[in-house]
Amino acid sequence: MPPRKWLEVLVPAHAEAVEAVSEILTRIGHQGIAVDVPIEPRGGTDHTVKAYLIDDAEVVAKVNDARDALGHLQAFGLGPIGDLVARQIEEQDWLESWKAQFAPIRIGRFLVRPTWSDLAVPEDAIELVLDPGMAFGTGLHPTTQQCLEALSSLRVQGKSLLDVGTGSGILAIAAAKRGASPVVAVDTDELAVEATRENVERNRVAIPVAQGSAMDVPGRFDIVIANIVAPVLQQIAGDLAARLAAGGTLIVAGISLPNERKTARAFAAAGLRTCVDRSLRDDWVAAALKR
């Protein structure tokens, strides 16, 4: 067969917008997306999200759909997002090059290992085996690392946990492997739900996964965790608080430093006024809240 033509799609984005842009490009990309992270963050659109598409009869419609979806992101007040740029490339081993960017990484008690890595797991590490090409949540992003570190130190054994905006399922799986039970995961995006179900099976844990958000889940949980961008956290603060059992802990991440005060006010209005822990990494804030 003659070599296929591919289209490389690039979107410059602020760190705060990377997750949302990644989710959109995942819808059209072949075998997931890649993110170029600057060695020294300089603000503005210093990250680049990439996707690769087979250049066929449907490629123009797919790129236009992605452009439209990226335009709608502006309503969420995220950091700046640059123009989508597309260029044709010859068939090449770009998938292996993309995979090379995701090496195993140790975070707290966990070792996050992509499916294609056969790295030996240290005896003191809890292994999380993921396919990061399906949804956001590889362990590489600072907000994911903050949540994994929180789950490394928090007492979760025997406690119920709800993961809202689960992405790849990494946090729900980590909690289940540390003994949390029952663990429930939800995400509004169908692709994320599919990715999480596959990763749940891959890690041999029992986690029901559903499409939806906090308002769609019945009952209350000892721990609720939500690694979502700040504007969305502000919108669903009341729903997250409603899912929290008496004496429970809410872990939130994905809050850029400029959005911290507004987000804190939203949770205070929902009755979660006590911050028992706070971490800051690369201008990203994570917090543990109680009533």
CATH 3.30.70.120 domain span(s) along the chain? 5-99
Q: How far apart are the first and last CA of the chain?
A: 63
Task: Note the CATH architecture for domain 105-290.
Answer: 3-Layer(aba) Sandwich (3.40)
Q: Could you give the 3-state DSSP secondary structure of residue 236?
A: helix
Largest CA-CA distance found in the chain, in angstroms, rounded? 63
Q: Residue 134: its pLDDT value, please?
A: 41
Q: Which CATH number fits domain 5-99: 3.30.1490.100, 3.40.50.261, 3.30.70.120, 3.40.50.300?
A: 3.30.70.120
Alpha helices in the chain (DSSP H): 18-28, 59-72, 94-99, 142-153, 170-177, 190-203, 230-242, 260-269
CATH 3.40.50.150 domain span(s) along the chain? 105-290
Q: Could you report the per-residue pLDDT of 113-160, keeping only the tens digit for each?
A: 887 777 788 889 999 998 755 444 556 678 889 999 999 999 999 999
Q: Residue 135: its pLDDT value, please?
A: 42
Residues of the chain short of pLDDT 70, as ranges, are: 1-4, 30-32, 39, 90-103, 132-140
Q: Residue 167: its pLDDT value, please?
A: 86
- Global pTM value: 0.73
